[in-house]
Amino acid sequence: MIIYKDLFSGDEMISDSFPFEDIDGIAIKITSKTIKQGAADYDIGANPSAEGGDEDGGGGSAEDVFVNNVEDAFKYQEMALNKKNFMAYLKDYLKKVKAHLEEHNPDRVAEFQAGSQKFIKEKILANFADFQFYCGESMDPEAGMAYKFYEGENPEPFFYVFKDGLVEEKC
């Protein structure tokens, strides 16, 4: 398994156990879904009603807690940001990522700057009211964030993270 940790905080942000795709070499888009917290559904082929089990056909009870699988797995903490605060955060964060790239991968700097500006303008700012912002478990305000967005009619959200703000770790 591969874990992708935040470059600055070390928080686990995503892993290859969740479906994801590369977006223009700048961001990673993670597919998420709603799950029942703490539940594991192992289909062993048995008929639950014949076994005296789940009579309600798999629906939930009033005590069931449903969570987003990505938020839950990586212990994301939601941050309420207005556009002004978000832009101030982003300016500082992108500057830190750029400095890291200049030191470790100078050939990547120009592509990162152009691509990140395009992604921010065309994806995040164009749909700002529809985004939710999450920091990692440490709640480090200077580290990278995950950006939650519902696309089209899909009832499950996607999360975006900046690719250059992650460190890959094989487990």
SS3 30: strand
In sequence order, what are the residues at sequence separation of 6 or more whose Cβ sits closer than 8 angstroms to the Cβ of residue 26? 112, 115, 116, 118, 119, 162, 163, 164
DSSP 55-91: TTTT---TT--EEEHHHHHHT-EEE---HHHHHHHHH
Note the pLDDT tens digit of each residue in 103-145: 999 999 999 999 999 999 999 999 999 999 999 999 998 999 9
* Dihedral class, residue 25 (left if φ above 0, else alpha if ψ from -120 to 50, else beta): left
Query: Can you tell me which residue has the tokens 């200049």?
Result: 102
Cα-based distances in Å from 149 to 73, 131, 132, 133, 157: 18, 5, 7, 9, 5
- Residues counted in the chain: 171
Q: In this model, does residue 156 exceed pLDDT 60?
A: yes
pTM of the model as a whole: 0.84
Helix (H, G, I), strand (E, B) or coil at 110: helix
The pLDDT of residue 154 is 87
Give 22's DSSP letter: E
Could you report how far apart the first and last alpha carbons of the chain are, in Å?
A: 5
Mean pLDDT taken over the chain: 89
